[in-house]
Amino acid sequence: MTFKVGIIGAGIIGGAFTWGFNEFEETEVVAICDLDPWKTNALANEFHIEHTYTDHKEMLKRDDIDIIYIGVPPKHHKSIFLDSIKSGKHVLVEKPIALNYQEGKQMMDAAKNSSCITAIDLIFRYNLAVKKLKELISSDHIGTIRRLQLTFRFPIWPRDWQQVNWLKERIQGGPLREVGSHFFFLLTELFGSVKRLSSLVEYSGPDCYENGVVGTIEMESGLVCTLDLLADVPELQENTLTIHGEKETISFTDWSKLNRLTKDGVWEFFYEDKGNATQEIIREFIQAIRGEDHDLVALKTGVYTQQILDAIISSNGEWVYFNK
């Protein structure tokens, strides 16, 4: 059986998923929706897709669509997700789940009360370097972990390949939501739940994105992670989780690479993810729809990641405690 897919959002990531779904025999993109008809037409022409829409509600009226992929800015995730679930479609939604925890929770509750398969696109679940890192941690290769460190540097924001205005907006853009969400998910994937956190956030202007964050995230296990983010600085771009262990210091950087710190204090590259997370999540999604075992990231996890984001944004130097 071929599952028919409708794509909502014909931007950067919507294009990647249109390609991704069409690579599988089991899925076929039959309709594309974007507020901007120029974008829907460009994608429809490239992938020979017959049906285009500028209103997702019109697209959702099609009863031949099984799967909806939502790749629009976060401000629109909740309403499009709820409409999609209401129309009985399975839904894969982009991260961050929504604008805040409350919206994410509404989405999660709606999904729970339906028979639809739902998931969030948090890609590190499928990253081979992350899998390798998990092995290194569980095999005690790193030894007792003393400290975690998240470091982000962005010489320009938004990054040069993603020049869209919504990413400058405080309410839905900014590096914490756009990039940090992946790394907060990663922290919990590798080290469990957060006990409490405290942070200070600086903004680039009124209603604009954050360009400076310092913080401390304490895990339930007692492990402490420092958070250090700067945007608009004349430094090289960096997205790194460093794990300081008693036996070894290892960094996961550039979305795919593992480096170790040698005794001479030099970073030595030793592993790289060469997988394709988009393909992996689509594969898992198909398995889930077929009722087979799968490894999708549940909305609940997306909501938890959003809680961490919300806490970092609102802490203002005070400890924010998480319920167990």
Q: Give residues in contact with ligand NAD (CB under 6 A).
A: 8-14, 33-36, 39, 56, 71-74, 76, 94-95, 121, 123, 162, 164, 178
- Name the residue nearer to ligand NAD (CB basis): 69 or 145: 69
Minimum distance from CB of 74 to ligand NAD (Å)?
5
- Residue 226 or 279: the one with the smaller Cβ distance to ligand NAD is 279
What is the C-alpha separation between 215 and 225, in angstroms, rounded?
A: 8
The distance of closest approach from Cβ of residue 82 to ligand NAD in the complex, given in angstroms and rounded to an integer, is 13
Nearer to ligand NAD by Cβ, of 172 and 198: the residue is: 172
Distance of closest approach, residue 123 Cβ to ligand NAD, in angstroms: 5
CB-nearest residue to ligand NAD:
11
- Fill in the amino acid letter for 133: L
Angle at alpha carbon of residue 20, lines to 279 and 93, rounded to 5°: 80
Residue whose tokens read 């409708």: 6
CA pair distance 13, 15, nearest whole angstrom: 5
Residue 95 DSSP label: S
Nearer to ligand NAD, 52 or 249 (CB): 52
Token pair for 322? 């998480």
Number of Cβ atoms within 10 Å of the Cβ of 288: 18
CB of 81 to ligand NAD, least distance (A): 11
Strands 210-219 and 194-203: antiparallel
Residue 12 vs 156, nearer CB to ligand NAD: 12
Least Å distance, CB 282 to ligand NAD, is: 12
CA nearest 306: which of 122, 80, 167, 127?
A: 122
